[in-house]
Amino acid sequence: MTSTRERQRAAARARLEREMAERKAAARKRRQLLTGLGAGAGVLLVIAGTVWLVLALNDDGDDAASPSPSASAGAAACEFTEVPADQRPKTTKDVGLPPAGEPRTGTEVMTLATNFGDIEITMDLAKSPCTAASFRHLASKDFFDGIKCHRILPGLLQCGDPSAKGKGYRETDGTGGPSYRFADENLPTNERPPYPAGVVAMANSGPNTATNGSQFFLVYQDVELQPAYGVVGKISKGMDVLKSATAAGHDGAFEPQPGGGHPKKDVVINDLTVK
C-alpha cells in the first residue's frame, strides 16, 4: 500500500517534470525571437527577460556584452573600414566612406518618409556621432530610397538592406549593406530594458565585431535583447505610424529559425533624410 510520503514524492516529481517541460517549450519559443539581427548575425536567446546569451553562428565563443574601445566617449575620430571588394556580398552597395570631421555635439533628426507616414528619430551626437555620420552619408547618396523593411519580429521592425528593393525584395537574405563597416557605440549596457519602445538601434553580427553597416531596427514595444546593438536614437514623432506599419504582422518566412518574417503589408522607405 502506497504511503502518504511516497504519494507526495510522486506528486512532486510530476510537478517538476511538468515545469521542466513548460520551461523547455518556453525556451524554444524564445529562441525564435529576435535572432540574426543583421547580415549573418548571431542567434539571440532571451531567457526570462533578464539573462542574455549570444550564440554566434560563426564563432561560439563570442559572448561578451561590453562596449568596444571605439565606443567610448573619448574616441578621437570615427573609423569606417572599407570592405575589400573580393569579400563583399553581391548585395553590397558601394557608396564610398563617410567624410571625416563628424559633429559631436547637439542633436540631429533623421526622418523616414514611409508609405504609412513619417517617422522622426532624434539622434544625440554626443552619444552616437559615428552612427549619425553614417546615416547622414548614406542619406546623401539616396541609399535608402525605395528600400522595403524586410523583417518583423515581436516588438521590432528591421530595415536598411539595399537588396530589399523592388518586386524581388522578399528573396533578400539580409546580407545587404554599404561598402564599409564601423564599430559599436552607445550600447545600452546599463539600461533595463536595454531596448524599450521607441528606441532605434543598429543591427549587426554580434558585440565587438565592428559589423555595423546600414541595417537597423525600430522598436515598437519593449524587447529584452542583449545590449549588443548600438542605439541610434529615439523616435520623437511617428510611433503611431510604426505601430500601424507593423499591425498586420509577418508571413512567418523565417520561422522557426531564425524567427519572424517579411511584413504582410509592405513597409517602404520612400526617402530618408538627416537634418
> Does residue 193 lie in a domain region?
yes
Residue ranges making up the domain that contains 238: 32-274
Residue 27, CB-side half-sphere exposure with 13 Å CA sphere: 9
pLDDT at 258: 78
In a domain, 139, yes or no: yes
> In this structure, what C-alpha cell is assigned to residue 26?
518556453
Q: Could you tell me the pTM of the whole model?
A: 0.75
**158 strand-pairing partners:** 151, 217
Contact indicator for 203, 158 with CB cutoff of 8 Å: yes
Contact call for residues 121 and 110 (beta carbons, < 8 A): yes
Q: What is the pLDDT along the chain (275 residues), one digit of tens a residue?
A: 556 667 766 666 666 666 666 655 544 444 444 444 544 333 232 222 222 322 222 222 333 333 333 333 445 689 999 999 999 988 999 999 999 999 999 999 999 999 999 999 999 999 999 999 999 999 999 999 999 999 999 999 999 999 888 756 566 767 899 999 999 999 999 999 999 999 999 999 877 788 999 999 999 999 988 999 999 999 999 999 999 999 999 999 888 877 889 999 999 999 999 99
Amino acid at 181: R
Domains of the chain: total: 1
* 13 domain residue, yes or no: no
Residue 41: predicted pLDDT: 37
Residue 7 domain-assigned? no
**Within-domain flag for 221:** yes
Report the Cα 5 to chain-centroid distance in Å.
52
Report the CATH number that the domain containing residue 109 is assigned in CATH: 2.40.100.10
Asked whether residue 208 is domain-assigned, the answer is yes
Residue 190 domain flag:
yes
Q: Which helix (H) or strand (E) holds 44?
A: strand 43-47
Q: Is 15 part of a structural domain of the chain?
A: no
CA end-to-end distance (rounded Å), the chain:
81
